[in-house]
């Protein structure tokens, strides 16, 4: 799918030569920021999952509230990841794929 995204439309609206020269750098930097945000949300999901597993291992001393809080963090981060992906797609007319590492 190679449509013109919002980034292309907005950036193409200016005619100044300096902006045209900077366009690839700005686009690359913006893509990096969105990828970094996605990675950060993914790391928070991993951290929360680890905390849940550690808390569950305590059995009789398990803090249910901590588990619920971590589940809420996971849910919120998953929603944030979807928002980041949607923003990326709108700006660049391509999908942002998560690293599988």
Q: What is the pLDDT of residues 78-99, one digit of tens each?
A: 999 999 999 999 999 999 988 7
- Mean pLDDT within 1-5: 67
End-to-end CA distance of the chain: 25
Q: How far is CA 90 from CA 9, 71, 87, 95, 100, in A?
A: 11, 29, 5, 9, 23
If phi > 0 it is left, if psi is from -120 to 50 it is alpha, else beta; for residue 94 that is beta
Q: What is the pTM of this model?
A: 0.77
In this predicted structure, the answer to whether residue 73 has a pLDDT above a threshold of 90 is: yes
Cα within 13 Å of Cα(80), Cβ side: 18
């Amino acid at each position: 799918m190679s449509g013109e995204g919002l980034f292309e439309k907005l950036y193409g609206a200016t005619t100044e030569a300096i902006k045209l020269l900077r366009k690839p750098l700005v686009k690359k930097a913006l893509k990096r920021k969105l990828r970094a945000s996605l990675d950060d949300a993914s790391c928070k999901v991993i951290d929360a999952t680890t905390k849940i597993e550690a808390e569950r291992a305590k059995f009789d001393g398990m803090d249910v509230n901590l588990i619920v809080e971590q589940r809420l963090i996971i849910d919120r981060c998953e929603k944030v990841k979807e928002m980041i992906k949607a923003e990326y797609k709108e700006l660049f007319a391509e999908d942002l794929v998560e690293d599988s590492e």
